[in-house]
Amino acid sequence: MKFTLFLAAASLALAAPGTKLTPRDTSPVVPRSARRAKYSSHPNQRLVSLSDARTKNDQYSGNWAGAVQIGSGYNKVQGTITVPEVSGADGAAASAWVGIDGDTCQTAILQTGISFYADGSFDAWYEWIPDYAYSFSNFDVSVGDQIRMTVDASSKTKGVATLENLTTNQKVTHSFTNTPSTLCETNAEWIVEAFQEGGSQVDLADFGTVTFTNAVVSGTKGTSGPSGAQIIDISPDQGQTVQAVGSITSNSVTVKYVGN
């Protein structure tokens, strides 16, 4: 999620032994190879010049909505969502994910999540930017499923991404060992994103409301929730309109689609 430049892909991530993973261009979750040939999250595109106009602890972003904790030593982030039913124009989409870095640290993100499309399809994925995202195999996703997302960095260059479908009792994990960047461990986030696909940002689908429950971040200073986090709202056109807004409680982050 760079401000202006799309990050170049680094070497492809390797699957952990026993884990069946494929690049997004051959996703078994949603077999539409042409669309997922170059799928990627981008760092938070903060619209800094607009932040002073906000009346609460919100910042505008061109692509993120949700909450970001800013500090140091963050190495594990977790949250659980209910998969939403979405609508929108052809090609409209969004993704919900948890991650480490990508806001004040723009050079790396360790993340995992679920993408949802206006045609009713879904994709479960993991990513360590600047590499592209990759799909998990054999992980079914349906509207209403409870999905727990976890990223856990054992060091600034190694980590694990895990998705658990608490409704179907499925679990998938990917271990990152040959990573394309070094984490700063200064950001922990719970985000709904208008991601990049084929080099362009997707139109944001109407996802209703997505809430990350049991939202937790752990690190060298202990464990906490999203209280005090920076709230992020999506504004794709320099603040002329707002498409999605974030809010927080002591243990949850909610993102609401508010349209164009």
Residue 65: is its pLDDT beyond 60?
A: yes
Asked whether residue 16 carries a pLDDT value surpassing 70, the answer given is: no
What was the pLDDT predicted at 105? 95
Q: Active-site residue among 164, 185, 189, 193?
A: 193
- How large a percentage of the chain has pLDDT more than 70? 77
Query: Would you state the pLDDT for residue 15?
Result: 32
The C-alpha atoms of residue 47 and residue 3 are separated, in whole angstroms, by 9
pLDDT at residue 134 in the model: 94
Contacts of 254 (CB under 8 A, 6+ apart): 209, 210, 211, 212, 246, 247, 248
Residue 13's pLDDT is 34
Each residue's pLDDT tens digit, 134-166: 999 999 999 999 999 999 999 999 999 999 999
Secondary structure of residue 25 in the 3-state scheme: helix
Q: Is residue 7's pLDDT more than 70?
A: no
Predicted local confidence at residue 241, as pLDDT: 84
What are the structural domain ranges in the chain? 21-257
221: left (phi over 0), alpha (psi -120 to 50) or beta: alpha
pLDDT for residue 240 = 76
Q: Please, are residues 259 and 209 in contact by the beta-carbon 8 Å criterion?
A: no
Catalytic-residue membership of 193: yes
Model pLDDT, residue 39: 59
- The pLDDT tens digits of the residues spanning 70-98 come to 999 999 999 999 999 999 999 999 999 99
CATH number of 21-257: 2.60.120.700
